[in-house]
Amino acid sequence: MVVINRGEANDLFFTLKEKASLATPYYLFVFINDTSEETKTFTASNISNYRDRYDEFIITEDSTENLSSGVVELSAGFWSYSIYEQVTSGNLDIANVTSKVEVGRVDVRGTEVVKATVSKTRTYTVRNGG
């Protein structure tokens, strides 16, 4: 499972090239929140010096999103992710990708206040993350 800390630049490692069909692919990340079903689609630069062995990305969780540079706002909790290979670096449209190269889970950690109404008379406040 991938862990992303809220409010930080997160150095993440994947092995995407093994399933890629393009010689020099760019990657599109699609995250879907397990609870809210919110979707975040973004790209990030592969900064690996050894792309035949692993792919490395800096994904920054921040409220000032730059979806074409790996800066994305994510709420605390669990997300499913899919990573797609594509020909261009700036595409954010899943319709224009080549193929899916990885799926998995993300645990976004950090303090966030979530209010849940259980009944008409009770509201609980829960702090998510760690």
Q: Quick count: other Cβ atoms within 10 Å of Cβ 42?
A: 19
| Amino acid identity, position 93 | D
- Assign 128 to helix, strand or coil: strand
pTM of the entire predicted model: 0.85
Q: What is the pLDDT of residue 107?
A: 98
CATH of 2-128 among 2.60.40.10, 3.20.20.80, 3.40.10.10, 2.102.10.10: 2.60.40.10
Radius of gyration of the chain (CA): 16
Note down pLDDT in tens along the chain; length 130 residues: 999 999 999 999 999 999 999 999 999 999 999 999 999 999 999 999 999 999 999 999 999 999 999 999 999 999 999 999 999 999 999 999 999 999 999 999 997 655 555 666 665 556 555 5
Q: What is the reported pLDDT for 118?
A: 62
At 122 the pLDDT is 64
